[in-house]
Structure 1
Amino acid sequence: MNATRVRDLAVIGIVALIASWLLAEAFYGSLPPIRLLVGASLYPIAVAEVAFGFAIRNRIASHRVGMARGQLHPITIARAVALAKASALVGAASAGVWAGLLLVIAPDRAIVRAAMEDLPGVTVGFLGALALTGAALWLEQCCRTPDDEEDEDTPGGDPSWGTDFR
């Protein structure tokens, strides 16, 4: 499985930004208020993924991955990689949506009271989406075996072949 590319996440974020900016320009007046907790909803997931990343990285570094009792099962690591990839996509798309909203309400915050009230929630949401994306990339990086890093440095090496979990 190939690593998530930041370029792909940037494209997703830009497309989401443009779409949300166009929709917010057209329909901002009919949107409900954006509260602080709405924007903060991605932080617990980001924190959990960072913690999970540290746990997996420590298990891989100490060679405690395998199918024996007390070891981290390789399927768990594969599931963590899938979670990380999905979270990176969600984080990038969410960052784009929040950025599009920021582009609409930030210029109007001094004039429109609703924009001023929505600004903290949108800002917290944007930062939470960036945190989720970063945490997902971190978790994915932590799931790599030492063989993965060696294969990337080898000319012609295929990093997808270095995923044997010892």
Structure 2
Amino acid sequence: MLKPTRLLDLALNVVFAAAIAWVATRFAYSTFPAISMLAGASLLPVAGIEAALGFVIKARIADERIGDGLHDLHPINVARAVALAKASLQVGSLAAGVWLGFLLWVFPQRGTLTAAAADSPGAVVGLLAGSALVAAALWLEYCCRAPDDPTDESATT
């Protein structure tokens, strides 16, 4: 049986990715290209799509419109949505960790390095976009639960 993603696992992803990104930024920042706001925001459309998909699936499950009929949501598509959510949780938490590690090195350097000051807003947007993807994927994962799932194990354990 597939279990809900544990928040501890996601937190460990963030910490691991942040540590590696901090080290990489510390030693190779001068070789990095400029960070634009668009680079940081690249995960936001995916987060929006997943959040919307969660609402659609939740409504179909509530209306008992799961099946192989013409206007029903096929169960395999729900399983695919769960797989998408699980993958997005990994991508989002690792991306948030990378942006966090980058920011932990760049943010204190803003006063002395103009490049660091210019890169900070894009990195903040990246951190927020990674976090938004994690939130949307958690929502999608939650919405894909079968109505008779036991509720004693929540996503927070």
Is the shorter-chain TM-score for this pair beyond 0.5, marking a shared fold? yes
1:58 to 2:59 alignment = yes
Give the root-mean-square deviation of aligned CA atoms: 1.3
1:127 to 2:128 alignment = yes
1: CA distance between counterparts of 2:71 and 2:13?
Answer: 39
Equivalent residue, structure 2, for 1:100: 101
1:19 to 2:20 alignment = yes
Query: Greater relative contact order: 1 or 2 (C-alpha under 8 angstroms, separation 6 or more)?
Result: 2
TM-score, normalized by length of structure 1? 0.90
Residue identity matched to 2:6: R
1:43-78 superposed Cα distances (whole Å, 9 cap, x missing partner):
000000000000000000000001112100000000
* TM-aligned CA deviation for residue 111 of structure 1: 1.3
2: CA distance between counterparts of 1:69 and 1:44?
Answer: 28
* Number of residue pairs matched by the alignment: 153
Equivalent residue, structure 2, for 1:139: 140
Stretches of 4+ aligned residues off by more than 6 angstroms: none
Equivalent residue, structure 1, for 2:87: 86
1: CA distance between counterparts of 2:103 and 2:73?
Answer: 42
* TM-aligned CA deviation for residue 152 of structure 1: 3.4
Residue identity matched to 2:143: C
Provide the secondary structure at the position in 1 that maps to 2:34: coil
1: CA distance between counterparts of 2:138 and 2:151?
Answer: 17
Unaligned runs of 5+ in 1: 160-166
1:88-123 superposed Cα distances (whole Å, 9 cap, x missing partner):
000000010000000011001111000000011000
Unaligned runs of 5+ in 2: none
Equivalent residue, structure 2, for 1:32: 33
Provide the secondary structure at the position in 1 that maps to 2:151: helix
TM-score, normalized by length of structure 2? 0.95
Equivalent residue, structure 2, for 1:117: 118
* TM-aligned CA deviation for residue 87 of structure 1: 0.1
User: Considering only CA atoms, is the larger Rg found in Structure 1 or Structure 2?
Assistant: 1
Provide the secondary structure at the position in 1 that maps to 2:108: coil
2: CA distance between counterparts of 1:29 and 1:39?
Answer: 19
